Structure 1
């Protein structure tokens, strides 16, 4: 892993991206988005995760995160990815309505075979490329990038309309899926 992408200061906020292997559009299904969000909620409540911004797109998700505990941020990221991988694979395997079951399991199995860190399946790309947000300019740029991602993709006209994002939190709207710590 490049020295550029390491968490060096545990007290800083970081911009991270979780990407599905082969950029597969997994999060077109609500059930998989909710697995990811439930894992983040659990880590907020039990592992000291500070979630400041998020946006879940079809094949990846962006976050601004920090921590308020002793556990290293890398450990929290590892735990989220590991837990969600297992839960997503379980959901795919047991969901008789999943029309892409064979496709998804084949691709995740193929990715897992080539990664010695996995036993059988790999859902996430290996790295999350953490970028330390050590200036207000970087923080605001990443926050805007996260919130305007669905606008740039042509999914919505304004960022706060996108349900799977913290843009509604920052706009002061009451319809929010997750709690975040507002930063600016």
Structure 2
């Protein structure tokens, strides 16, 4: 992997993207979005995750992350992806409502079998492409990119209308899904 896409400074914020294998629209279902949000909440409380921005799209998630504890940021990211992968697969297998069960398990199994780092299933693409946000310009560009993602996709007209995004937090909306550390 290129040195360009590694976390070098644990004290900085990073822009990362988590993408479902083959860009499958997994997060079109609320149950999977909730699994991801619960994992973030857990990591905020137990692992020292500083979540500054997020946007859950149908096939990928954008985040601005940092840390406030001893755990390395790449370890927190690994734990989020590992936990959510296991929980998502378990939910797919157990859900009577999941009409895409065979399709999802087939594609996640195919991805897992072709990757020696996985045992059976692979939900997430391996790369996160962390970008260190070492200037105010980079921070604000990434923040705007994250929050405008649903607007560009034609889902909403303004960023704060999108429920699964920190744009509501930044708009000081009283009802948000998860707490974030606002970037000035």
Q: Same fold (TM over 0.5)?
A: yes
Normalising by structure 1, we get a TM-score of 0.99
**Structure 2 gap ranges (5+):** none
1:1-184 matches, cutoff 5 A? 1-184=1-184
1:113-151 C-alpha deviation (Å, 9 max, x unpaired): 011111100000001100000000000000000000000
| Partner SS for 2:3 | coil
Give the C-alpha shift of residue 5 in structure 1.
0.3
User: Deviation of residue 100 (structure 1)?
Assistant: 0.3
Shift of 1:24: 0.2
SS at match of 2:164: coil
Distance in 2 between residues matched to 1:2 and 1:171, nearest whole Å: 36
SS in 2 for 1:18: strand
Query: Partners of 1:122 and 1:51 in 2: how far apart?
Result: 25
Which 4+ residue blocks in structure 1 deviate beyond 2 angstroms? none
Q: Deviations over 1:144-179 (max 9, x none)?
A: 000000000000000000000000000011110010
> 1:90 and 1:24 mapped to 2: Cα distance?
17
Instruction: Name the count of aligned residue pairs.
Output: 184
Partner Cα distance (1:36, 1:117) in 2? 22
The CA deviation string for residues 59-112 of structure 1, in whole angstroms up to 9 with x for no partner, is 000000000011100000000000000000000000011000000000000000
